[in-house]
Structures are given as structure tokens and as C-alpha cells.
Amino acid sequence: MSEPGFIALVDDDDHSAYLLTRMMAAHGAPAISHFGTAALGEGQIAAMLQDPLANWPGLVIIDLKSHSSANLEFLERNQALFRQKGIPIAVMSPPLSAAGCEALTAAGAAGIFFRHAELDAYRREAAAIVTFWARHQRLDAIGM
């Protein structure tokens, strides 16, 4: 079980997950629990959210690369559970059109962040995710 305030990362590329985790930690992120596939993330996060005694993530980040609509499909399958539990979802993706961003938002994404090839741009995006996480923390979670 992770500590309160952790971030769940569903990322099917281990190197990408390592890089994002390291970049976010450098900007003050809490512990990050990595789930390596959509199925693993869905199963373990759903089990966590069904257990009232479990620590829940303060944010779930989806960064699936198996195919172009993997993030959207994950959101569509799981948006009801995340909304019911009040867990914000952030999506990490390549730059998208306005229609692509709207589809992710309609499927439940509270934030959309872009993967960048340039290291400084990627670092700024990781910092923005940490800021996003901090803004979405529940005040009543303190001391839990």
C-alpha cells in the first residue's frame, strides 16, 4: 500500500515511466506507483478504489502508447469509477488537435499534458503535472 498523496502512473513504456517519475520527483512530486499496462493499472487501481481502507491516489496519470487511442479507450472504460471517487485524471500524450483534446476531456481527463522530445520542454511539462497534482489535493486528506 502506498502512502497518502501518491500518484498512480499507468504507462506501458518502462523507460518513459522512469523518466517521468524522475522528472516529477525533481519538482516535488509525492511517491509514484507505476502500473505497466492498461490492464494492470485498471485492475489494481479499481481494487484500490473499492477498498475504503486503502490509500487512494491523489492523481492518476495515463500515458499509454500501445496504439493511438489507448489513452482515450482507458478513460472511457474507467471514467465512471474515477469520477465517483473524485480522483482527477491527467493524460500524457503527443501534441493533439483541439478535437483530440476535447475527446479526452469528454472522456474524463481533468488535465492533458504533452510529451516533448526536447528535454527542457519535457521537464517543464513534468513540473506542470506536479503543480496540477498540488492544486487538486483534497484539503480533508491532511492527516489521513
Domain 7-141 has CATH 3.40.50.2300: yes
Q: Tell which residue, 115, 12, 128, has the closest CA to residue 59.
A: 128
Confidence of residue 138 (pLDDT cuts 50, 70, 90): low
Q: pTM of this prediction?
A: 0.90
Confidence of residue 144 (pLDDT cuts 50, 70, 90): very low
Question: Exposed, middle or buried, 93 (CB in 10 Å: 0-12/13-18/19+)?
Answer: buried
The model's pLDDT over 34-82, given as tens digits with 9 standing for 90+, comes to 999 999 999 999 999 999 888 899 999 999 999 999 999 999 999 888 8
- Show me where the domains of the chain are located: 7-141
> What is the rounded (10 degree) CA torsion for 73, 109, 26, 20?
20
Confidence of residue 140 (pLDDT cuts 50, 70, 90): low
> What is the rounded (10 degree) CA torsion for 26, 124, 63, 105?
130
The model's pLDDT over 89-119, given as tens digits with 9 standing for 90+, comes to 999 999 999 999 999 999 999 999 999 999 9
Q: What is the pLDDT of residue 82?
A: 87
